[in-house]
Structure formats: structure tokens, C-alpha cells
Amino acid sequence: MKYSGEREHLAKEKKAANKDQSSIEDFFGSKHRDEDAQNDEPPAPVYGVVEANPRASPPPAPPKPEPAQEEQASAEEEYAEEVAEEVAEEAEVITEVRVADSDTPQDLPSSFLLSVDYAGQQRKAIARLYEPKSKNLYFWLDNTGHYPYCYTDLPAQAVEKIDRIRRHSGFMRTETVQLLDLLHDQQKSMTKVLAGDPLSIGGSSGSIREMLVQDGVSHAWEANIRYRNCYTYDRDIVPGLMYKIERGNLVLSSSKTDDKIIEEFRKTVQDEEGVEKLVSRYAPVFFTDVPDIRRVAVDIEVFAPVKNRVPDPATANYEVIAVGLADNEGHDKCLVLKRKNHPEGKKGNDFPANLEIVYFDKEVDMIQEAFRLIDTYPIVLTFVGDAFDLNYLYHRAERLGIDLKRNCPITLGKDMALLKRGIHVDLYKFLKNPSIRIYALSGAYEQNNLDAVAKGLLGVGKLGLSNDISGLPYLELAHYCWNDSSITLRITQFDSNLLLRLIVLLMRISRLSMEDVTRQGISSWIQSLFRQEHRTRKCLIPRQVDIETAKSSEAQTEAVIKDKRFKGAIVIEPVAGVHFNATVLDFASLYPTIMKRHNISYETVDCPHDECRNATDNRVPETSHWTCKKRRGMISQTVGFFRDTRVKWFKGRSKDASLDDKTRKWSSVVEKALKVFVNASYGVTGASHFELFCMPAAESVTAYGRNAILSTKARAESMGIRVLYGDTDSVFLDNPSREQQEQLVQWSRKELGIDLEVDKTYKYVALSARKKNYIGVYKTGGVEVKGLSGKKRNTPDFAQAAFKRMLGVLSKVDSVDGFETAKVEIRDIVNQVIDRLEGRGEPYTPEEVAFRVQITKDLGQYGKTKPQHVRAALMLKAAGYDVPAGTIISYIKTKGDEGVLPVDLAQGKSYWLDKDKYIDTLHSVFEQVLDSVGLEFEELLGFTTLEQFF
């Protein structure tokens, strides 16, 4: 249903949206595609106000300010920024798990490990297992006597002398252990401080972690790792793999993978010493398939007395009127609340035959039945269930006096809704994750609302409505509500369970439980992966301050560390103008390759060894850094292994027609998961919140990257090829011969150790003098537009349509002279727009000329000078609409006092569009492209088409 909490995310999302625009469609995003596909469908409901609602259909526009002159970042840089904005949630989680004795068998056949938690009541780690034959959930409680702990560099005796620790109710004992300190490449004696429960270690005030602070300096290590993870790492458990219970013990089920395949895989990726261990450890991760898991998707609808007001889950004032459920075994159900004198309505033609509607006279009975059903499933899927559906059900149940402890399957955590038995996966959070949206799903949807996601992934969207939710007849309400749950389910099913399998692979690689991996981002996944690597190798996990101190001569404060910037990627000055037959060569996964080849990891850049410091063949260009010659870096080795596994094995197999469909599909899932990790490896290294953040390492990666581009440029020029442009990992060459391209590729492999690939050849590329701003036209007529992203979504439809037509004209140009003809045609397009704006020809509808801008605060909070969209919002309010903060206002610009008119008030009214303002808009949209092909907008404004006739 409705949820308004995603506003904050909107601005962030679109930044990531325009990475690799490769066609006109991509440039404008899925919005236009959707509209095209929708032509035969009933029009979407016309709301007075369009909310920034992830589950409503109308496309919201972003409120992002447009810094016109700002240079745009490359995909890598943008992704690194995304990563940098993520903050890992490290608060300890104590789970309320409801288990009966019958749920914890002493023996259980091979089952799928969904999660490892800390069960508060039992004071033990607890594993959730899905047994695929019975399709039931089972639990296993730790029987190994594992306890929460942290490390300290204080000797055991010293720790026990600290009164507050000795008398701490949770304190158990100390042990002295030897761990490898990678930063100094030496064994270190540490004291392990054990406690009876996780909160005694950290996360509560007065915890042992706090008592290990002396004179303002913390002497605690690994004290911020959640116990559920700590346990997983220590036992080397892989969530997402198959485990069985044997005589009370949890044991890994042996993998059924063909030994021959593993052997071949080993030969393919093992190109250096040390990798064999990684191969053995990761083979089950990459080669064990994922079973289908019994699951249900749930969606609720809530009565709303005021149109468009989002019901607040915290107060849950209004009744739940429908609960839709769709499971993967064909059970389709909608629970519907009977209301006085409410019409039943009729079943539409598309009403699903097997949808069972169950009516309830009392809301409390309906919710109890929903709870009963939810409790029977191992996995419950929602879209925005954390913030809305499950959250609302919980609070509504509380309000109705339902015994939450006994009858409610939901427990609420901080910003999330968990289940006492099963796993709740909120697909909204998972699909919003840029790693998933951009890299794994190739940007199939741009906006993270259920309608856009479903259209992008499944090709179907939400149902259109004949009325607002509260006014819908029962049958239509049931159909609508169930349909939302059905598409939520299908998002996890399409392409042979692609998304479900992807989630499981990410669990395995990151060692996180299903509910964590779907809620956290890539930096948490990578952090977790390397925590496991450290524990497996018996290494101490360094703290940020340890890395910083080891790398610099003087101690630095946290603020200084976070404030530092380093030199990024290189952009070669563009040769402005139109260039025919330009070829683009780019480096395949440049940064991960550099990390592997140059051994870049936090412990190997500026390592502690004198012989490395004094050597000459390991210097990072343009910097004072060096890399280690004695030890293989943990990050460089792992990232390199992932990269090779992806490129040398799974990528090719995902497209290999000689393989069976199942193998191909699986390879494609593994390839996608690895891509996510490999692509982010540089980003996290340079992200100041990342546990293993290391400035010299990030600096070294970009330095080698610049070096690669510059030496390629020099090499090309020495071969007589003009370099037109270059950015981060690609160079644009002026009409190189096939032999020259091949020579450069060979040279790069030999000299740089990086795969340079011929990416594409343009019919022509038009470079503007501004960096990262060009259009490229392919021989097939396709057009690639780079660098106009700022204009993107705020652009009204009429201007987007005109822009598309302009690109169509430019795509047909075959020679320098062709631009003269194109100019005439573009002038025609512009003049047709002006005609329509002036009311000659077919006038534009208000929607076509609407600007869509979000109001970010309550209307009362805006000052004296009110921007246009706020003025429009005030007009809506005066007309009786509810306009809370976060609402997206659609308005047109008119001549007259106010200068604006909300689209919803424009129906049946007469008004004059403010033509000049609209021409300005068109100008700004056309300008950059015209600039790159050497035309000026002003030249196009002459007389209009009609005037030509007179």
C-alpha cells in the first residue's frame, strides 16, 4: 500500500540511474517505455497529488537541484560515491525466536541454512534451516559452548585487574591467543575477553568494550561485530549452503558437485600460489545450486479517510481492509474486511480464476487469520514491509488488543520487521540497492516503486484503479491487493528464480543471513566477507585507526582521516567537434585488475618490510607509495580470484549455447553476484566508513589507472593515431586501422598486464569542449548520449519527445555535409513545438508540459519567497487537497499572476502557457547536444512553420 518514507532516497537514486546510457531509451529511462507499453491499458488513476510513493504508479520526478556546470563523475566514481554513502549498521541484534521442542530435531536431512541469529531467550546462537522435502522450517541451537568475546592488547592479568570488568555480570574469563597482525606482519599476543551474552561485550552502556578504554584510547578489537556474525565466522558457517543435523550437531552437507568440473575450474583460475585454498573454499559456494524455497508474498490495504494520505503505521489508526497473499505453490488468497453498505462489484475479465476471497466481519479475526498464514511460511516477501505492511499489521494488532506475544508472528526491530519463525525479505530494500539494480539487474528499472520494478523485470505492472483504495468494491479491491502480492512473488521467480538464487549467492559470499544480506549494502557484504577471511586465516581484524597509524608517521584524528581526498580518475581533454569512425578501446575491469596485478590491499601498500620500502620495481607511479613483494595482499588476492572466476569461467558459460539451460542460467547468476563484488572492491577501499578503508591503497589504484590511460595515449600517438578523448578506463581513437587496434591490445596485455578491448566503433562521435559530454552515433543508427543526466527527469514530456526526435535526425547524418540538412530538420522540430505551445496545431495536454517537483518540507515551513512548485502546492491545498511533505507536484507554467497551475486544477480551465519559459526549457535540453555538433539553438529559432505559409 502506501508508504511515503522513500523520499530521502529519491535524490540519491537518480544519480546512479544514468551510468551507461547507450540508447535514447536508456537516456530517458524506462518511463517512456512504460508509457508505450501501456497504450492499450486504462489510464492510470488521476490523483490530485502524486506522492513519492514507491508503490503507486505515477512516475515521481526528483527534487534534485541541477548544478549546471558540475562535471559528471564516471560510472566507477559514481559507484564509489554510492558505496561511500552507505553506513553499516553495527548495533547488536537479539532475536526473539519462537521454537517448540519439535522444531529442534536431533537429526535432520540436508537442509538449506537461511540464517544464524542470537536467540535472546535461549542465550545461544540459533540456526534456521529449511528442509526442502517437508518444506518446513527447523531450528538448531548451538551446542558447542561458543561465547561472545572481543580482543584486547592488554595482558590478561591487566584485564582482570580492571574492577569494573571483573565485577561485570556478563564477564566470564580471559584467554591469551596468538593472532597474525597483517599490518605489521608479525604474530601478536592478544587477550580474548569472553562474556555470557553479546550485550555485555558491546552495544549497551557499561559494556566491556567501553571498559577497555584507557585515557581515551580504546584497547578493544573486534568488539563491534554482531554476535550472530562472530559465531558464523568462527564456525566457518556458510549461510545459503546445505547443512544437516547429525546426532544434535550441525554439519555441512557434502556438495554434489562433479569432481571433474571442480578440477577443470581449478586449472582455469589457479594462476598463482595460494589460490588453491580459495578454490577449495569457494567451490561449494559457486557450484551448489539453490533449491526452490516455499514462500509467500504479502500485501495489505488500509482504509484512508482522506484521499492520498498515507496511513501512519506507528499509530495504525485505520482499519486494514484487505490482506493479499500469493505463494509459490499456487495458493492465491485475499482476506477482505466487510464494511457497512459497501458494494461487492463485479469480477473483471482479467479476474484470476483461482483467487480465493475470504470475507471477515471483524477486522481482528482477519488479522489473526493473516498472522496464522504468515507463520506457516519459511520466507515471507513484501515490498516495503519493513516500513509499512508488517509494521502496520503489528501496530494494528496491538491496537485491536491481539495478544502479540502469543499470536503475532512479527517482531519489530530498528527500521525492520522480522518474524519469530520465518525470514522476512523486504524486496523494496533489496531492489533499491544500487549493486542489485545497476550491476546485477542491468538497470532494468529506474525507479524503485513496485510498478516500475515489475514492469522492468516482468513486463507487467500494478492494476489500474477505478476509484481510490477505500472506495473500491470488494472484488476490485481483492484483485488489486492480491495482484500486488502476486507481482512481489513473481519478482523472485522470473528467469528460473534469478532473484532468489542471487540472494542466496550473496549470502554465501558475504556470509550473511538472508534477512541481513537483503537489507544491507555492498560495503557491509564486503566487510563481512573479509572479516571471515581474517578469522579463517587467524589474523587480527584491524581497526581503521590501526590502518591509518600504520601508514602515516603521525597519529591523526578521525575527522582528518575522513576529510582527506585523493586524486581520482583521469579525463583526457576532448578534441571538440565531430569525428567520423572513432573507435573506443576500454580496459576490462580496470581497477580490480590493477588491484590484483599490483598486489594492492590495505596491508601490502606501504608495507612494513624494509626490502619492499627500498626496492625500485614496486613504486606506484606519481606517488610515494610502494607495494609489497613478500606477501600476497588479502584483498588483492580475493578480488583477483573473484575477477578471474567471473571472467574465465562463469561469464563465458552464461552465454555458451553448447551448455544446457540450467548450467547457463546458474552461471549467469554467479557471474552477476561476482560482478557486484568485483566492481565494488575499489570503491570500498576508498570509502571512509569501510572497516578496511585505506587511503594509500585507493590512491595507488587510481594512480595505476591514470598511468594505464596515459601510456596507452602515448603509445597510440607514437603509432600515428590521434587520441580524441579518454575517461577513466577508455580511450577514443581517431579512425584507427584494424591492425593498429590489434597492436594496441597486444601491447597493453604485455606491458600493462591489463586486457584492453575494442569496445565500439561510432559512425561519428560529437565531442563538446566539456568533459564527459558527448553524443556517439553507431552505424546501426543507435545514439548514445553522455552527460545530460542533470536534465533528465525534471524535463517535461514535450521536451523529451522533441529531444528524441532531434536525436533521430542526428542519427541519420552520414557526412559532415549532412549536418546542414539535419539543421533544417531540427529547426522544423523546434518550430512545431513552438506552434503547439502557442496553440496552433494540436495543443499540448497539461501532462505533456508538466514539471514535476517534490516538496521536501511542510508547506508552512517555506519562507517568504516561494518557488513555483510550492506556489502550485498551495493552490492545491486551497482547493482541498492534502499536500504533505514529500508530495510530488505536477504543474504547468502559465502567463498571469501566479505563473503556475497544478495539473489537476487545469482540467476544464482556460490558461495561456508561458511560451518563453517553455522555450527556455527546450533550449536547455537541446543545448548540449547541439553544442557538440556545432549548432546553436538560436539559429533554429526563426519563423515558425505556419508563418512560412503566409
Separation CA 651–CA 238 (nearest Å): 24
Which range of residues in 141-149, 167-175, 624-632, 733-741 is near Zn ion by CB under 5 A? 624-632
Cβ contact 14:64 at 8 Å: yes
Would you say 609 or 632 has its CB closer to Zn ion?
609
| Residue pointed to by grid coordinates 556470509 | 511
Would you say 607 or 873 has its CB closer to Zn ion?
607
Q: Tell me, residue by residue from 602 to 621, as one string, x for binding to Zn ion by CB under 5 A and - for no binding.
A: -----x-x--x---------
Is residue 112 within a helix (H) or strand (E), and if so which, with residue range? strand 108-119
Which range of residues in 239-247, 528-536, 601-609, 803-811 is near Zn ion by CB under 5 A? 601-609
Cβ contact 316:303 at 8 Å: no
Report in angstroms how near the CB of residue 692 gets to Zn ion at its nearest. Answer: 17
Would you say 551 or 792 has its CB closer to Zn ion?
551
* Total Cβ atoms within 10 A of residue 70: 8
Which range of residues in 625-633, 642-650, 897-905, 934-942 is near Zn ion by CB under 5 A? 625-633
Report in angstroms how near the CB of residue 629 gets to Zn ion at its nearest. Answer: 6
Q: Which of 689, 82, 53 is nearest to 437 (CA)?
A: 82
Q: Within 13 A of 656's CA, how many CA atoms are on the CB side?
A: 15
Report in angstroms how near the CB of residue 83 gets to Zn ion at its nearest. Answer: 27
For 520, the grid coordinates are 544491507
Would you say 633 or 886 has its CB closer to Zn ion?
633
Does residue 184 bind Zn ion (CB under 5 A)? no
Report in angstroms how near the CB of residue 687 gets to Zn ion at its nearest. Answer: 25
Torsion of CA 463, 467, 470, 472, to 10 degrees: -70
Would you say 545 or 612 has its CB closer to Zn ion?
612
Residue selected from 256, 562, 630, 866 as contacting Zn ion according to rule CB under 5 A: 630
Would you say 537 or 562 has its CB closer to Zn ion?
537
Q: Which of 485, 432, 444, 483 is nearest to 462 (CA)?
A: 483
Report in angstroms how near the CB of residue 555 gets to Zn ion at its nearest. Answer: 23
Q: Which of 145, 152, 170 is nearest to 234 (CA)?
A: 145
Report in angstroms how near the CB of residue 612 gets to Zn ion at its nearest. Answer: 3
Would you say 2 or 596 has its CB closer to Zn ion?
596
Q: What stretches of 564-647 show up as alpha helix (H) in DSSP?
A: 590-597, 610-614, 634-644
Q: Which of 685, 687, 681, 692 is nearest to 590 (CA)?
A: 681
Would you say 57 or 618 has its CB closer to Zn ion?
618
Report in angstroms how near the CB of residue 702 gets to Zn ion at its nearest. Answer: 21
Does residue 628 bind Zn ion (CB under 5 A)? yes
Q: Which of 158, 233, 219, 229 is nearest to 546 (CA)?
A: 219
Does residue 309 bind Zn ion (CB under 5 A)? no
Report angle CA 129, 130, 135 to the nearest 5 degrees: 150
Would you say 630 or 662 has its CB closer to Zn ion?
630
| Residue pointed to by grid coordinates 614496486 | 618
Strand ranges for 160-315 from DSSP E: 171-181, 186-195, 213-214, 217-218, 220-221, 242-246, 249-252, 295-302
Would you say 141 or 615 has its CB closer to Zn ion?
615
Which range of residues in 628-636, 690-698, 752-760, 776-784 is near Zn ion by CB under 5 A? 628-636
Report in angstroms how near the CB of residue 611 gets to Zn ion at its nearest. Answer: 7
Torsion of CA 489, 492, 496, 501, to 10 degrees: -150
Give the CA diameter of the chain: 101
Report in angstroms how near the CB of residue 618 gets to Zn ion at its nearest. Answer: 8
Q: Which of 632, 484, 458, 666 is nearest to 37 (CA)?
A: 458
Report in angstroms how near the CB of residue 609 gets to Zn ion at its nearest. Answer: 3
Distances (CA, A) of 563 to 557, 559, 625, 695: 10, 6, 20, 11
Report in angstroms how near the CB of residue 578 gets to Zn ion at its nearest. Answer: 51
Q: What stretches of 202-331 show up as alpha helix (H) in DSSP?
A: 208-211, 227-234, 259-269, 275-287
Report angle CA 608, 612, 617 to the nearest 5 degrees: 150
Q: Tell me, residue by residue from 476 to 515, as one string, x for binding to Zn ion by CB under 5 A and - for no binding.
A: ----------------------------------------
Report in angstroms how near the CB of residue 278 gets to Zn ion at its nearest. Answer: 21
Q: Tell me, residue by residue from 728 to 767, as one string, x for binding to Zn ion by CB under 5 A and - for no binding.
A: ----------------------------------------
Would you say 184 or 665 has its CB closer to Zn ion?
184
Would you say 457 or 628 has its CB closer to Zn ion?
628
What's the chain's Rg over C-alpha atoms? 30
Q: What stretches of 73-221 show up as alpha helix (H) in DSSP?
A: 75-85, 156-161, 163-166, 198-201, 208-211
* Total Cβ atoms within 10 A of residue 300: 26
Q: Tell me, residue by residue from 13 to 52, as one string, x for binding to Zn ion by CB under 5 A and - for no binding.
A: ----------------------------------------
Which range of residues in 158-166, 447-455, 627-635, 927-935 is near Zn ion by CB under 5 A? 627-635
Report in angstroms how near the CB of residue 622 gets to Zn ion at its nearest. Answer: 20
Q: Which residues on adjacent β-strands are paired with residue 411?
A: 418
Which range of residues in 307-315, 323-331, 600-608, 887-895 is near Zn ion by CB under 5 A? 600-608
Report in angstroms how near the CB of residue 536 gets to Zn ion at its nearest. Answer: 22
Report in angstroms how near the CB of residue 50 gets to Zn ion at its nearest. Answer: 58
Strand ranges for 477-527 from DSSP E: none
Would you say 197 or 699 has its CB closer to Zn ion?
699
Would you say 460 or 615 has its CB closer to Zn ion?
615
End-to-end Cα distance, the chain: 56
Report in angstroms how near the CB of residue 633 gets to Zn ion at its nearest. Answer: 10
Separation CA 534–CA 362 (nearest Å): 55
Would you say 633 or 776 has its CB closer to Zn ion?
633
Would you say 543 or 609 has its CB closer to Zn ion?
609
Q: What is the DSSP letter of 626?
A: B
Cβ contact 891:902 at 8 Å: yes
Which range of residues in 76-84, 162-170, 599-607, 922-930 is near Zn ion by CB under 5 A? 599-607
Report in angstroms how near the CB of residue 628 gets to Zn ion at its nearest. Answer: 3
Report in angstroms how near the CB of residue 701 gets to Zn ion at its nearest. Answer: 18
Would you say 161 or 630 has its CB closer to Zn ion?
630
Tell me the number of residues near Zn ion by CB under 5 A.
5
Would you say 240 or 633 has its CB closer to Zn ion?
633
Q: Within 13 A of 188's CA, how many CA atoms are on the CB side?
A: 21
In 524-544, which positions are buried (b, 16+ CB within 10 angstroms) versus exposed (e)?
bbbbbbbbbbbbeeebbbbbb
Point out which residues bind Zn ion (CB under 5 A): 607, 609, 612, 628, 630
